Structure 1
Amino acid sequence: MGLFSKVIGTHSEREVKRVIPIVDKIESLEPEMEKLSDEELRGKTAEFKKRLADKETLDDILPEAYAVVREASKRTIGLRHFRVQLIGGVILHQGRITEMRTGEGKTLVSTLPAYLNALEGKGVHIVTVNDYLAKRDAEWMGQIHEFLGLTVGVILNSMDNDERREAYNCDITYATNNELGFDYLRDNMVIYKEQLVQRDLHYAIVDEVDSVLIDEARTPLIISGSSGKSTKIYEACDNLVRQLKKGTEKELSKMDIIMKEDNNETGDYVANEKEKTVNLTEQGIKKVERFFHLENLADPENLEIQHCVNLSLRAHALMHLDKDYVVKDDQVLIVDEFTGRIMPGRRYSDGLHQAIEAKEHVKVKRESKTLATITFQNFFNKYDKKCGMTGTALTEEKEFREIYGMDVVEVPTNLPVKRIDHNDSVYKTKREKLNAIVEDIVASHEKGQPVLVGTITIDASEELSQLLKKRGIPHKVLNAKFHELEAEIIADAGQIGAVTIATNMAGRGTDIKLGEGVTELGGLKIIGTERHESRRIDNQLRGRAGRQGDPGESKFYISLEDDLMRLFGSQNLMQMFNSLGMPEGEQIQHKMLNKAIERAQKKIESNNYGIRKNLLEYDQINNEQREIIYAERRKVLDGDDMRDTIISMIDELVEKYVNMVIGDDQGPSEWNLKELNEILIPMIPVKPVTGEGCGSKQELIQNLKEEALRLYETKEAEFPEPEQIREIERVVILKVTDSRWMDHIDDM
């Protein structure tokens, strides 16, 4: 902390000070609210709505509204908002992010701004990371809102459109970010207004905001359909790639580059795990050309082969079974890199999924065509107001501010944090590290202290599980697909003698309560088996212990063979420690190591931020076009009379075709009427143009426009009700617009 911050406080401390007078006002109203009967307390909702109609603002009624929610919470679910939760609630209403530690009751905090903003009648969306939490919170916190006369809905993956519409029409709706985003895209593909499910996007409260707006923001939401392309090329490329040899790329120093030193690539291709790229060498290019009988792989007509070969190389060199994906029931299923959960229904785009299917010898499904897409950044920026809650956001404060226009305010804990965060233990090899972890778990288990072990991959959790089985340590492994089961296991992780192995992010949103006698044993012990790419996710794992003033401890074990150190740490580290001749199993302690770890994490965080920023910049172009298309589409959907628009389209088409064939300086004798008839009549079935009675090009255009209008009016007269043709026009315009828009985004 710099001298300036010490003197005037951090940004968060200053912002918290600003809301203290509002919180004092809320607290002063508590005795008054306690005296009200249930009926009188419920009646406050109608009173607030009337005051808003009489031009009072949400800020005017905030203290009283929050005091009402606090009292309703005590009466319905038996929980009273702490003072720090009131602070968090005020910050959320202001459209900002509150950083509150795990166990500080973020779920309860959300009830305050949700109730206040729902009074406007425009709908509030509370965004969670999975269906289980959406359902749990709607049932649990929904009791408060329903007691106060508001309606509460929940969107689940299994629901049909009628159920979704009903839930969105509630005052407060709980849903996952994926359901909200996909419903938005689907709403912009419907043909009839009655098929819409969402209302306007008014106010979003995003729980675990860093997970939703940062971790998942690298992957856009995509609705796709089958493209009809053959899958044979993926199998051919897979056969080819199995015959290619992986080479090594020599890293050149600045001096090598200045001296024009050659890279001397070896093998047929080189893969760079750090940059996640793979490239053919000159030798590899020649082999591809021979395999496909091509003269030059770089020719534009060979673009598809180039693309598919590159995908197959990526599938073999950069995508790993049981880390990036699993194979189950003859299907390739993606593993979420942040949670370790399997993501059914999600597929890699751009042909990568097909390349992996060919690699794993499962049925290669047809490549999909993108029908609609949006990034989470652009979707959430459509809300009139948004806010978020998380236990860890300060490390990404810059990104929240730059991309979402939201600042982060750290809210103090209700009770001081007693957790002890130990220094990292670093070992030379992965084997030595795992042995040390097992010894630590055994020692803790013998005294009854519960242990939660966080791993990064499914592979790592299963390997550790095998080692614990050999030592006879009973434990539970969590590679969860079922959130209900996951929550149950995580909730039990604080009992005496419990040993739980889970992916780093498992059980997010579920508190680990300590069993009887655990406090005396030092509380829950957290062990991280390696550092994650992001410091924030390491902090989340630590934060599972030490909730609400409980004791606890955390420790990370690292080896120089871990991906983070291998790819992003200093390359000299392993050489240096080898030269020291350290005995097997001895822990390495050096301040240079701590700096190397932090540098590696910062490097990756910066890299990932760049990926997300590039994705947003790319989607920004798409977004401007999408906004125009969707706005025009909505006008048609809302029943605007399209007659004038269609007549204008016909006029434009006539002018376009005449101008294509006839120059301004050409006289009637020079007109190529045969060509004009060939392109015009299939589109507008006028009589063949003879040019009679037309002294000029403008006269010809005017005559054709009048004839086209007569044809249109004749067609109109065939319908007994004018609305019938209007409806057909709306459907045709929507279908043609959608078809052209889908082709456009698929080409981009």
Structure 2
Amino acid sequence: MAAFDWFWRAMGGSAARKNHKRGEHVAAQAEATREESARLSDEELRTRLRQGDDGERLAALAEASRRTLSLDPFPCQLQAVQLILGGDVIQMATGEGKTLVGAMAAVGFAAQGRRVHILTVNDYLARRDAEWMRPLVDFFGLTVGAIDESLSREERRDVYQRSIVYGPVNEIGFDVLRDRQVTAREEEVQGEVDVALVDEADSVLVDEALVPLVLAGAAPGEAPTGQITDIVRDLVEGQHYEIDDERRNVFLTDAGADRVAAALGVESLYEGEDAGSTLVHVNLALHAKALLIRDIHYVVREGKVQLIDSSRGRIAELQRWPDGLQAAVEAKEGLRVSEGGRILDTITIQALMGRYRTLCGMTGTAVEATDQLRQFYDVGVAVVERHKPLARVDEADRIYATMAEKNQAIVEEIRRLHATGQPVLVGTHDVAESEALAEELEDLDVAVLNAKNDDEEARIIAEAGDVGRITVSTQMAGRGTDIRLGGADEAAYDEVVAKGGLAVIGTGRHKTARLDHQLRGRAGRQGDPGRSVFFVSLEDDMVVAGGSGERITAHPDADGRIEDKRISHFIGHCQRVTEGQLLEIHAQTWKYNKLLTDQRAIIDERRARLLDTDLAWEEFQQRAPERAAELADLPGIAEAARSIMLFHLDEEWAGHLSIMDEVRESIHLRAVAKETPIDEFHRIAVREFKDLAQRAVDKSVETFESVPIDEEGAHLEDHGRIRPSATWTYMVSDNPLSSSGNSVFSGIGNIFR
């Protein structure tokens, strides 16, 4: 009983238990009325959804699903729908039908007159699910659409007006940023938001919570010169620079600083008129050299640096590092340095979620993210039992003394399983590892899925359960395609079942157990047989980082394998340490972001007043009465006044972001003066923001009195007040779950030492 009580406390206490019990009760009610619902006409079902009690509504949704999609929801799926409608994030195992659950819940919300955004992890899933579930939505007289990168402004506006909108979370966020730049309400595409139903909720809400989505405008970017890049390329770790134990920060030694200074022909990197700029460029080049590794953090494809989303193992579309660091990596690789851009606005995914009145979602691994979901979003977690009992066998870790011995054992195990015809899925941590493993197995037919070929994802994953298949994949989270035993058409299902189902091999524990469970969950779908095992070495990054400073003695056998419960417990301890580190990084980073998010809300309120009223014109009449009197009879003068004031408000906000970005990059230096960095950051942010709105008004008045204004509006460009002629969107890699060196806050933010 004590363990049961602990579980509910972890889930969020009595409220979580109450919602879970209600979900079970309503699902049971729906099951009891299924036969009756089957006898109803289509119109009667529609009436039931609008006017029935909760059980009747669920039953109506279930019967409509059967009629339109030929999918008959299981009782566990009905329970999941009710839990989502109650505002929970639900955990459902892989293959249990989350796509249908999400669509049914969205229809349930939309039938109440609420507008629903179903947030996915990529364009493909948004398009696929919107089309797949369209018949169910249409049945109830509702509308559905999908947002993707290719849509025009007009097409986006049309989709956002529909009852249910599927879209990648980043595209939804980018539309928010673009809407924040409009000078008239009719230019907005998104409008008011209401319900966010997040697919792969832990991946989006936790792993990517602090990824900043950025809107940039054309401006020259800064990058290390070719000379600095060449000098830094020859520096030696341990002699000229050092990297911390977590491989997140790098800094020059005295010898390194002297060597670089001599090569540049300056007396010191830390003194002189251009010292600040030079030191920034040196550290950018050093960060690119030491912490950002090709085929681990990025790939080079078609002459471009493309970042790898380490939580999913695929190319991070539209993602880049801050301009200076992006340029440093391009220079390191000998590529053309891309144009920089002034940041006009930014929003984190966590802040984006805060815009919705209701936040809910679904995933296969929510329990391990309960603390983060409750702490940062105030949402509960509910576990939905499987439709069929789990038949997968999860073996104990196979632990080895060295990485070389572990890798050899992995290759031997893959060959052994392949000889039996059992399909094997191998989960690796990065592109380099997946390709090295495939090379070791080059005599076999190995399908490799990583960031270099993720466009082939659906085909590779769909066939991974066929007889004798070997699939080597980087991180499996959010892949969105089930692995069916016997291949995509399940033609060899019985044969694969007889061989034991899909075998999953992990080449090392992840920094959080949740990612391990996501990989394990690819086997044992819908009661199918399967097995999973992780290979771990004492040299693995997670073990080294989590066990830093602890001495452990082990006694491996002739093959390097360690069978000692103490060591197994030590591995678990290391993972819990890294999980704690990630949570702390998230909490600390959010503290830096939270104040700017609150300040942006103030700007949004000011913008809304300017857009929806004649406030700008009224202020000009008060502050510049003579000029206002001259223009009082001019058609469209209120719109012209609005455009001037919005221009300066947006300019001041962009300037504020630039200032705070510089502060954040050097804030750790405050610790040298015995000041708390986060407190000092907040003090500066409050000080800089205090007069922002007033500065915008003052500059607006100056512009109002000086620029030509006629029937066509205010000619701001005549006085150099020009909005960027080109803008683009991208994501800054600022992910606490990323591999070493891939967090802006803990990486680039701390290289100045």
Quickly name the TM-score band, shorter chain normalised.
0.7 to 0.9
Q: In structure 2, what is the equivalent of residue 746 of structure 1?
A: 658
Q: Distance in 1 between matches of 2:7 and 2:227?
A: 67
Q: Could you say if the C-alpha distance between residues 311 and 10 of structure 1 is closer, same or farther in structure 2, counting changes exceeding 3 Å?
A: closer
Q: Could you say if the C-alpha distance between residues 314 and 710 of structure 1 is closer, same or farther in structure 2, counting changes exceeding 3 Å?
A: closer
Following superposition of structure 1 onto structure 2, how do residues 65-80 of structure 1 map, counting pairs within 5 Å? 65-80=57-72
Q: Distance in 2 between matches of 1:711 and 1:162?
A: 37
Give 1:77's aligned amino acid: L
Q: Distance in 2 between matches of 1:349 and 1:595?
A: 40
User: Once the 2 structures are TM-superposed, how far is the Cα of residue 526 of structure 1 from its aligned partner?
Assistant: 0.3
User: Once the 2 structures are TM-superposed, how far is the Cα of residue 171 of structure 1 from its aligned partner?
Assistant: 0.4
2:519 to 538, 541, 545: 541
Determine whether 1:41 maps to 2:45. Answer: yes
Q: Distance in 2 between matches of 1:322 and 1:497?
A: 28
1:16-35 Cα shifts (integer Å, max 9, x gaps): 33432222222222222111
Q: In structure 2, what is the equivalent of residue 421 of structure 1?
A: 394
2:211 to 214, 219, 225: 219
Q: In structure 1, what is the equivalent of residue 229 of structure 2?
A: 238
Q: In structure 2, what is the equivalent of residue 687 of structure 1?
A: none
User: Once the 2 structures are TM-superposed, how far is the Cα of residue 198 of structure 1 from its aligned partner?
Assistant: 0.5
Determine whether 1:305 maps to 2:221. Answer: no
Q: In structure 2, what is the equivalent of residue 25 of structure 1?
A: 29
Q: In structure 2, what is the equivalent of residue 465 of structure 1?
A: 438
Following superposition of structure 1 onto structure 2, how do residues 114-125 of structure 1 map, counting pairs within 5 Å? 114-125=106-117
Give 1:381's aligned amino acid: G
Following superposition of structure 1 onto structure 2, how do residues 665-684 of structure 1 map, counting pairs within 5 Å? none
User: Once the 2 structures are TM-superposed, how far is the Cα of residue 488 of structure 1 from its aligned partner?
Assistant: 2.0
| Greater alpha carbon shift after TM alignment, 450-459 vs 22-31 | 22-31
Work out whether residues 486 and 507 of structure 1, in 8 Å CA contact, stay in contact via their aligned partners in 2: no
Determine whether 1:285 maps to 2:257. Answer: yes
Determine whether 1:736 maps to 2:708. Answer: no
Q: In structure 1, what is the equivalent of residue 675 of structure 2?
A: none
User: Once the 2 structures are TM-superposed, how far is the Cα of residue 72 of structure 1 from its aligned partner?
Assistant: 0.5
Q: In structure 1, what is the equivalent of residue 318 of structure 2?
A: 345
1:535-590 Cα shifts (integer Å, max 9, x gaps): 1111000000011111110001122232222333356668x34xx5742x242111
Q: Distance in 1 between matches of 2:517 and 2:221?
A: 45
Q: Distance in 2 between matches of 1:421 and 1:299?
A: 62
Q: Distance in 1 between matches of 2:582 and 2:271?
A: 30
Determine whether 1:270 maps to 2:237. Answer: no
Work out whether residues 480 and 486 of structure 1, in 8 Å CA contact, stay in contact via their aligned partners in 2: no
| Greater alpha carbon shift after TM alignment, 72-81 vs 214-223 | 214-223
Q: In structure 1, what is the equivalent of residue 595 of structure 2?
A: 621
Q: Distance in 1 between matches of 2:549 and 2:401?
A: 13
User: Once the 2 structures are TM-superposed, how far is the Cα of residue 9 of structure 1 from its aligned partner?
Assistant: 9.8
Q: In structure 2, what is the equivalent of residue 101 of structure 1?
A: 93
Q: Distance in 1 between matches of 2:73 and 2:303?
A: 50
2:182 to 166, 183, 190: 190
Q: In structure 2, what is the equivalent of residue 494 of structure 1?
A: 465
Give 2:408's aligned amino acid: N
* 2:208 counterpart SS class: helix
User: Once the 2 structures are TM-superposed, how far is the Cα of residue 310 of structure 1 from its aligned partner?
Assistant: 1.8
* 2:441 counterpart SS class: helix
| Greater alpha carbon shift after TM alignment, 542-551 vs 278-287 | 278-287
Q: Distance in 2 between matches of 1:394 and 1:84?
A: 17
1:350-382 Cα shifts (integer Å, max 9, x gaps): 521111112111112233321110111111011
Q: Distance in 2 between matches of 1:27 and 1:278?
A: 60
Q: In structure 2, what is the equivalent of residue 588 of structure 1?
A: 562
Q: In structure 2, what is the equivalent of residue 126 of structure 1?
A: 118
Work out whether residues 402 and 538 of structure 2, in 8 Å CA contact, stay in contact via their aligned partners in 1: yes
User: Once the 2 structures are TM-superposed, how far is the Cα of residue 331 of structure 1 from its aligned partner?
Assistant: 1.6
1:376 to 339, 349, 352: 349
Q: Distance in 1 between matches of 2:270 and 2:64?
A: 70
Q: In structure 2, what is the equivalent of residue 701 of structure 1?
A: none
* 2:369 counterpart SS class: helix
2:530 to 552, 557, 560: 552
* 2:389 counterpart SS class: coil
Work out whether residues 374 and 619 of structure 1, in 8 Å CA contact, stay in contact via their aligned partners in 2: no
Q: TM-score, normalised by structure 1?
A: 0.82
Q: In structure 1, what is the equivalent of residue 701 of structure 2?
A: none
Q: In structure 1, what is the equivalent of residue 191 of structure 2?
A: 199
User: Once the 2 structures are TM-superposed, how far is the Cα of residue 507 of structure 1 from its aligned partner?
Assistant: 6.3
Work out whether residues 545 and 578 of structure 2, in 8 Å CA contact, stay in contact via their aligned partners in 1: no
Q: Could you say if the C-alpha distance between residues 6 and 134 of structure 1 is closer, same or farther in structure 2, counting changes exceeding 3 Å?
A: closer
Q: In structure 2, what is the equivalent of residue 111 of structure 1?
A: 103
Q: Distance in 1 between matches of 2:58 and 2:31?
A: 9
Q: In structure 2, what is the equivalent of residue 609 of structure 1?
A: 583
Determine whether 1:432 maps to 2:398. Answer: no
User: Once the 2 structures are TM-superposed, how far is the Cα of residue 591 of structure 1 from its aligned partner?
Assistant: 1.6
1:320 to 293, 299, 307: 293
Work out whether residues 527 and 555 of structure 1, in 8 Å CA contact, stay in contact via their aligned partners in 2: yes
Q: TM-score, normalised by structure 2?
A: 0.82
Give 1:239's aligned amino acid: D
Determine whether 1:475 maps to 2:387. Answer: no
Q: In structure 2, what is the equivalent of residue 57 of structure 1?
A: none
Q: Distance in 2 between matches of 1:195 and 1:410?
A: 42
Q: Distance in 2 between matches of 1:572 and 1:623?
A: 40
Following superposition of structure 1 onto structure 2, how do residues 6-21 of structure 1 map, counting pairs within 5 Å? 15-21=19-25
1:430-481 Cα shifts (integer Å, max 9, x gaps): 2322222222222222221111111111111111111111xx3212111256
* 1:109 counterpart SS class: helix
Determine whether 1:711 maps to 2:627. Answer: yes
Q: Could you say if the C-alpha distance between residues 714 and 570 of structure 1 is closer, same or farther in structure 2, counting changes exceeding 3 Å?
A: closer
Give 1:237's aligned amino acid: I
Q: Distance in 2 between matches of 1:582 and 1:412?
A: 41
Q: Could you say if the C-alpha distance between residues 3 and 441 of structure 1 is closer, same or farther in structure 2, counting changes exceeding 3 Å?
A: closer
1:333 to 277, 289, 306: 306
Q: Distance in 1 between matches of 2:281 and 2:140?
A: 58
Q: Could you say if the C-alpha distance between residues 627 and 210 of structure 1 is closer, same or farther in structure 2, counting changes exceeding 3 Å?
A: same
Q: Could you say if the C-alpha distance between residues 132 and 632 of structure 1 is closer, same or farther in structure 2, counting changes exceeding 3 Å?
A: same
2:200 to 182, 204, 208: 208
User: Once the 2 structures are TM-superposed, how far is the Cα of residue 65 of structure 1 from its aligned partner?
Assistant: 2.1
Work out whether residues 274 and 568 of structure 1, in 8 Å CA contact, stay in contact via their aligned partners in 2: no
Q: Distance in 2 between matches of 1:214 and 1:528?
A: 22
Greater RCO (CA < 8 Å, at least 6 residues apart): 2
Q: Distance in 1 between matches of 2:228 and 2:2?
A: 57
Work out whether residues 221 and 323 of structure 2, in 8 Å CA contact, stay in contact via their aligned partners in 1: no
Q: In structure 1, what is the equivalent of residue 334 of structure 2?
A: 361
Give percent identity, aligned residues only.
Answer: 39
User: Once the 2 structures are TM-superposed, how far is the Cα of residue 596 of structure 1 from its aligned partner?
Assistant: 2.2
User: Once the 2 structures are TM-superposed, how far is the Cα of residue 243 of structure 1 from its aligned partner?
Assistant: 4.0
Determine whether 1:637 maps to 2:611. Answer: yes
Q: In structure 2, what is the equivalent of residue 520 of structure 1?
A: 498
CA RMSD of aligned residues (A): 2.4
Q: Distance in 2 between matches of 1:503 and 1:479?
A: 5
Q: Distance in 1 between matches of 2:654 and 2:64?
A: 49
1:638-684 Cα shifts (integer Å, max 9, x gaps): 35453222234x1xxxxxxxxxxxxxxxxxxxxxxxxxxxxxxxxxx
Give 1:128's aligned amino acid: T
1:506-544 Cα shifts (integer Å, max 9, x gaps): 662211111222111111100111111121111000000
* 1:286 counterpart SS class: helix
Q: Could you say if the C-alpha distance between residues 362 and 286 of structure 1 is closer, same or farther in structure 2, counting changes exceeding 3 Å?
A: same
Give 1:709's aligned amino acid: P
Q: Could you say if the C-alpha distance between residues 26 and 644 of structure 1 is closer, same or farther in structure 2, counting changes exceeding 3 Å?
A: same
Q: Could you say if the C-alpha distance between residues 514 and 4 of structure 1 is closer, same or farther in structure 2, counting changes exceeding 3 Å?
A: closer
Q: Could you say if the C-alpha distance between residues 160 and 473 of structure 1 is closer, same or farther in structure 2, counting changes exceeding 3 Å?
A: same
Determine whether 1:725 maps to 2:637. Answer: yes
